[in-house]
């Protein structure tokens, strides 16, 4: 991949709780400058990001149920609806991995179905927080995501004790064919990002996008 192709794999991300409006605007400007796939922000900044990115070809992406995934299903659906109504093109929702580890599969299906239903065609990426899961749970989670009609399974929030792992991408790609994967959490260099792309990820979530792509120019 050349720099432009690689940039189109990156969701340029700013999810710090102290991020200001100007920080969000700067993030969006960088996303446009480098040609990233999206600018990924908290749902309260959906409208701000969408307006700044208008006609740029860069998508506005918002997180939902972030970072712990423990909100009630209807709350996640409400947040997802509000984000899309404000202009979000993509929604990154955190799965309730406590439900998953409890075997509450029906509850997970309910929240996934609810969020996909209200996003009005916006791409949904579901964060499964792989660092808390066994390999069997990772595969199960990815299958539930695929069955729900969501667009991607995403590895991590970046707030867990461990971020993305190449072996998790390899596992999911092998066991759940056809699913799209977004790797995120602790990816800060071109070398790291390329390992995930080579393993089968088609999106990279990172706050280090300019550093990663800058060396390719």
Q: Which residues are catalytic?
A: 92, 154, 182
Q: Report the relative pairing of strands 152-154 and 203-206 from DSSP bridges.
A: unpaired
Find residue 28's DSSP bridge partners. Answer: none
The two structure tokens encoding residue 145 = 């995501």
The number of C-alpha atoms within 13 Å of 87 and in the hemisphere containing its C-beta is 20
The two structure tokens encoding residue 68 = 């712990």
CA dist 80 and 215 (Å) reads 35
Cβ-based neighbours of 121, under 8 Å, separated by 6 or more: none
In order, the DSSP letters of 135-182 are HHHHHHHHHHHHHHT-SEEE---S-SSS---HHHHHHHHHHSTT-EEE
| H helix runs in 58-153, sequence order | 73-85, 97-101, 105-118, 135-148
Find residue 42's DSSP bridge partners. Answer: 63
């Amino acid at each position: 991949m050349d720099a432009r192709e690689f940039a189109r794999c990156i969701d340029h991300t700013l999810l710090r709780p102290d991020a200001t409006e100007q920080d969000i605007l700067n993030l969006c400007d960088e996303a446009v400058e480098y040609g990233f796939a999206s600018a990924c922000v908290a749902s309260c900044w959906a409208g701000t990001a969408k307006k700044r990115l208008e006609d740029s070809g860069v998508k506005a992406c918002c997180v939902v149920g972030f970072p712990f995934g423990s909100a009630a299903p209807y709350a996640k659906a409400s947040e997802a609806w509000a984000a899309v109504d404000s202009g979000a093109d993509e929604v990154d929702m955190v799965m309730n991995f406590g439900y998953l580890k409890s075997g509450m599969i029906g509850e997970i299906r309910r929240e996934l179905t609810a969020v996909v239903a209200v996003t009005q065609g916006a791409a949904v990426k579901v964060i499964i927080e792989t660092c808390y899961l066994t390999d069997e749970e990772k595969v199960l989670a990815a299958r539930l995501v695929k069955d729900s009609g969501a667009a991607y399974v995403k590895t991590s929030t970046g707030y867990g004790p461990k971020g993305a792992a190449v072996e998790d991408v390899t596992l999911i790609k092998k066991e759940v064919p056809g699913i799209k994967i977004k790797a995120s959490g602790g990816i800060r260099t071109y070398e790291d990002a390329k390992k995930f792309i080579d393993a089968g990820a088609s999106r990279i979530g990172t706050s280090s996008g300019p550093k990663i792509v800058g060396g390719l120019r």
